[in-house]
C-alpha cells in the first residue's frame, strides 16, 4: 500500500510540474520596460446629416451599412414649395428690370421737357426785357422750367429705385437658389452609414437628423492610463492595437491625444499612492493609409488592447511587431 501511495504522489507531482511548465511557456509575455497597455474600444467620428429646413422627406438613397464618399447625395427633401417661390422671385426680377426700362424712358422724356422749358423761359425773359411780352408770361415760363427740373430729379430717383428693386429681386433669387441646394442632402465626409433615422414621406423639423455617418478616415482607440504612464507619453508616440476579434494581427497607431485632466479622481489625493489612481484618457489614432487600405474591415465598437511606447528608445517586442492581414482582390474582402 505504501508503495502504491508513493507512486501516486509521484505521478501527481509530475503532472503538476508539467502543467506549471506548460503554463509558463504558453502564458502571454509581459511588457518590457518603456511600454504600457490598457483595454479599449475602436471609435470613429460621427457625422449627423440633418435638414436645414422643415419639410417632407422625398427620398433616402442609402441604407445602413452602405459605404459612401464625400459629396455623395444621401437624401432629398420635397422642394415643390421653394421651387414655386423661386419662380415667383425670378418673375419679380424680370418685372423690376422692366420698371428700370420704364424709368430710363421717363428720364429721357423729363430731360427733353426740361430742355424745352428752359428754352421757352429764356425766350420769354429776353422778350420781357424788350417789352414784347408780359411779366406774367415770363413768370409762367419760369414756373414751367422749375417744374421740369423737379420732374427730372424725380425721374432720376425713379432710376435708383428701379435699380435697387432689381438688386433686391436678384438677392432673393440667389437666396432661394442656395436654400434649394440644402433640400439635397450630401455627406461632407467619406464613411459608412451607421443609422438611417428617417423614411420617405416623414415630415421633420429644421435640424432633424436623417442619417448618421461614421467617418472611417478618423478611427481611434480610447484607453485609460495611470498617472505614472500618462505623464511619460508624448503626442505622436508610437502605439499598437491588437483587436480581440483578430488577436493574430497587430495594427499600428499613434498617440493623438492625452487628456489634461484626470478622468477618475479619488476623494483624497494627498498621498503618492492615491495620486497613482488618477486615470487619464488617451487616444490611439490609426494611420490614414491603413484605414484607406482596410476600409471594408474597419468597424467601430470592436474591443481590444492598446499598447503605447513610453520611451522613444524602447524596442517593440516580437509579439507586438506590426502584422496586418493581406488585402484580397475579391470584392467580398
Domain of 265, CATH number, reads 2.40.30.170
Q: Is 122 in the same domain as 153? A: yes
CA distance readout (Å), 63 to 60, 70, 212, 215: 8, 16, 11, 16
In 3-state terms, what secondary structure has residue 229? helix
**DSSP-H helix ranges across the chain:** 2-26, 80-130, 135-181, 227-230, 272-275, 288-293
The vertex-319 CA angle with 316 and 320, nearest 5°, equals 45
Q: Is 220 in the same domain as 316? A: yes
Task: Determine, yes or no, domain membership for 142.
Answer: yes
11-48 per-position pLDDT tens digit: 555 555 554 444 334 334 568 899 999 999 999 889 99
Other CB atoms within a 10 A radius of the CB of residue 43 amount to 16
Q: Is 219 in the same domain as 316? A: yes
Q: Is 35 in the same domain as 65? A: no
Q: Is 36 in the same domain as 133? A: no
Task: Determine, yes or no, domain membership for 21.
Answer: no
Helices and strands counted in the chain (H then E): 6, 12
Q: Is 107 in the same domain as 190? A: no
For residue 3, the model assigns a pLDDT of: 53
**DSSP-H helix ranges across 182-218:** none
Q: Which of 146, 138, 147, 135 is nearest to 120 (CA)?
A: 138
> Structural domain of residue 62, as residue ranges?
49-78+184-204
Task: Determine, yes or no, domain membership for 3.
Answer: no
Q: Is 146 in the same domain as 128? A: yes
Q: Which of 206, 220, 224 is nearest to 50 (CA)?
A: 206
Q: What's the rounded Cα separation, in Å, for the pair 252 and 254?
A: 7
Task: Determine, yes or no, domain membership for 16.
Answer: no
Q: Is 70 in the same domain as 89? A: no
> What burial class does residue 226 get, using C-beta atoms within 10 Å of its C-beta: 0-12 exposed, 13-18 middle, 19+ buried?
middle
| Alpha carbon distance, N-terminus to C-terminus of the chain | 65
Task: Determine, yes or no, domain membership for 287.
Answer: yes
Task: Determine, yes or no, domain membership for 332.
Answer: no
Q: Is 65 in the same domain as 99? A: no
Q: What's the rounded Cα separation, in Å, for the pair 172 and 169?
A: 5
The CATH number linked to 103 is 1.10.287
Q: Which of 75, 26, 29, 38 is nearest to 55 (CA)?
A: 75
Q: How many domains does one find in the chain?
A: 3
Is pTM beyond 0.85 here? no
Q: Is 136 in the same domain as 263? A: no
What are the residues whose beta carbons fall under 8 Å from the beta carbon of 231, sequence distance 6 or more?
none
What are the residues whose beta carbons fall under 8 Å from the beta carbon of 100, sequence distance 6 or more?
159, 162, 163, 165, 166
223-269 per-position pLDDT tens digit: 999 888 988 888 999 999 999 988 899 999 999 999 888 776 554 44
> What burial class does residue 230 get, using C-beta atoms within 10 Å of its C-beta: 0-12 exposed, 13-18 middle, 19+ buried?
buried
Backbone dihedral region for residue 27 (phi beyond 0: left; psi -120 to 50: alpha; all else: beta): beta
Q: Is 100 in the same domain as 174? A: yes
Beta strands 191-196; 184-186: pairing state: unpaired
Instruction: Output the DSSP codes for 93-155.
Output: HHHHHHHHHHHHHHHHHHHHHHHHHHHHHHHHHHHHHHTSS-HHHHHHHHHHHHHHHHHHHHH
Instruction: Output the DSSP codes for 176-188.
Output: HHHHHHTTEEE-S
The CATH number linked to 63 is 2.40.50.100
DSSP letter (8 states) at residue 1: -
Which residues partner with 55 through β-bridges? 204
For residue 134, the model assigns a pLDDT of: 83
DSSP letter (8 states) at residue 261: S
| C-alpha cell recorded at residue 87 | 419662380
| Regions of the chain with pLDDT less than 50 | 19-28, 267-271, 330-333
For residue 21, the model assigns a pLDDT of: 43
For residue 310, the model assigns a pLDDT of: 93
Task: Determine, yes or no, domain membership for 264.
Answer: yes
Task: Determine, yes or no, domain membership for 119.
Answer: yes
Q: Is 89 in the same domain as 70? A: no
For residue 227, the model assigns a pLDDT of: 86
Amino acid at each position: 500500500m505504501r508503495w502504491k501511495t508513493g507512486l501516486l504522489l509521484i505521478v501527481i507531482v509530475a503532472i503538476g510540474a508539467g502543467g506549471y511548465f506548460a503554463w509558463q511557456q504558453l502564458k502571454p509575455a509581459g511588457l518590457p520596460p518603456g511600454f504600457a497597455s490598457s483595454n479599449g474600444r475602436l471609435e470613429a467620428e460621427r457625422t449627423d446629416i440633418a435638414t436645414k429646413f422643415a419639410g417632407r422627406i422625398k427620398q433616402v438613397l442609402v441604407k445602413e451599412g452602405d459605404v459612401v464618399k464625400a459629396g455623395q447625395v444621401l437624401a432629398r427633401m420635397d422642394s415643390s414649395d421653394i421651387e414655386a417661390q423661386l419662380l415667383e422671385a425670378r418673375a419679380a426680377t424680370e418685372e423690376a428690370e422692366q420698371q428700370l426700362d420704364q424709368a430710363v424712358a421717363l428720364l429721357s422724356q423729363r430731360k427733353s421737357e426740361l430742355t424745352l422749358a428752359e428754352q421757352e423761359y429764356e425766350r420769354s425773359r429776353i422778350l420781357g426785357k424788350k417789352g414784347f411780352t408780359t411779366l406774367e408770361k415770363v413768370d409762367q415760363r419760369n414756373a414751367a422750367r422749375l417744374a421740369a427740373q423737379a420732374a427730372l430729379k424725380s425721374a432720376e430717383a425713379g432710376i435708383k429705385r428701379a435699380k435697387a428693386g432689381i438688386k433686391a429681386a436678384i438677392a432673393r433669387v440667389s437666396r432661394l437658389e442656395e436654400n434649394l441646394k440644402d433640400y439635397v442632402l450630401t455627406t461632407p465626409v467619406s464613411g459608412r452609414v451607421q443609422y438611417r433615422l428617417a423614411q420617405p414621406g416623414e415630415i421633420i423639423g429644421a435640424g432633424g437628423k436623417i442619417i448618421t455617418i461614421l467617418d472611417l478616415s478618423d478611427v481611434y482607440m480610447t484607453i485609460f492610463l495611470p498617472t505614472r504612464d500618462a505623464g511619460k507619453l508624448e503626442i505622436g508616440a508610437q502605439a499598437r492595437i491588437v483587436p480581440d476579434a483578430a488577436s493574430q494581427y497587430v495594427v499600428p497607431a499613434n498617440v493623438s491625444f492625452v487628456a489634461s485632466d484626470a478622468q477618475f479622481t479619488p476623494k483624497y489625493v494627498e498621498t503618492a499612492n492615491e495620486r497613482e489612481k488618477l486615470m487619464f484618457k488617451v487616444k490611439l489614432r490609426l494611420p490614414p493609409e491603413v484605414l484607406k487600405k482596410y476600409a471594408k474591415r474597419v468597424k467601430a465598437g470592436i474591443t481590444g488592447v492598446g499598447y503605447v511606447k513610453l520611451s522613444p528608445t524602447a524596442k517593440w517586442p516580437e509579439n507586438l511587431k506590426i502584422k496586418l492581414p493581406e488585402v484580397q482582390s475579391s470584392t467580398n474582402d
